[in-house]
Amino acid sequence: MTFRHQDHFFSLVDALSAISVLARLPVETLPENRFLQQALEALMAHQSLGQCSIFLTEGNLLTCAVGTGMDLFGSDENSRQSESVASMEFAIGEGIMGLACQTGQIQYCRNCKSDPRFKPFERRALFYGDGSLLSVPIASGDQVLGVLNVSHHQPEFFETWHQHFLVLFASTLGRLLHLQRMIHQLSDQVTVGSKSPQ
């Protein structure tokens, strides 16, 4: 086995490990934001990626829910997270991620400096604007819940296997997010019902 094939093999093993960690997250007990953050942490822990973020649909907008990556939150992650992801919105159909949400298909920006579809992120901490970007719809069935963005500082960094893996990761994330929302909605209904006068 050549070194290239060995690297590819270990990359695939790491990819499967990331999905395994994601599938084991306790969706029934985690708040949504914490669940999404742990999903990104699982992805980053097993893949050599630059920066990642998750944007969720809110009406006709995509709004940043969580982000992680190099130099994203600095040394004090908890105190700076809300500041770093605040006011980050894209219209559905706008930019690479907006197209991913609108079409329900993965979008690959091979070189963000030369691709006219790319719209810079307002917060450069989430993506500097150089290199390559993959935007992958997070869906459950026919419903697109949001978009997973994964970037690297190198143009044309992502290979075909990256794309297949991230589609699988985002699909798993979408189903778990849908399940998590259903569980918490049911729990809220039970709580309200138990407080109603008999």
Q: Which domain holds residue 43?
A: 3-179
Tell me, what's the pLDDT at 69?
55
Number of domains composing the chain:
1
The length of the chain in residues reads: 198
Task: Write the CATH number for 15.
Answer: 3.30.450.40
pLDDT in tens, the chain (198 residues): 454 545 555 566 777 888 999 999 999 999 999 999 999 999 988 777 778 999 999 999 999 999 875 343 333 344 344 445 545 789 999 999 999 999 999 999 999 989 999 887 666 555 656 789 999 999 999 999 999 999 888 999 999 989 999 999 999 999 999 999 999 888 777 666 666 565
Residue 194 lies in a domain: no
Task: Tell me the C-alpha distance between 14 and 45, whole Å.
Answer: 9
Sorted by sequence, the CB contacts under 8 Å of residue 156 that are 6+ apart come out as 110, 111, 132
Tell me, what's the pLDDT at 89?
87
Task: Tell me the C-alpha distance between 43 and 57, whole Å.
Answer: 21
Residue 185 lies in a domain: no
Residue 193 lies in a domain: no
Residue 196 lies in a domain: no
Residue 47 lies in a domain: yes
Residue 189 lies in a domain: no
96, 118 contact by CB (below 8 A): yes
Task: Tell me the C-alpha distance between 117 and 105, whole Å.
Answer: 15
Tell me, what's the pLDDT at 75?
35
Residue 49 lies in a domain: yes
Residue 137 lies in a domain: yes
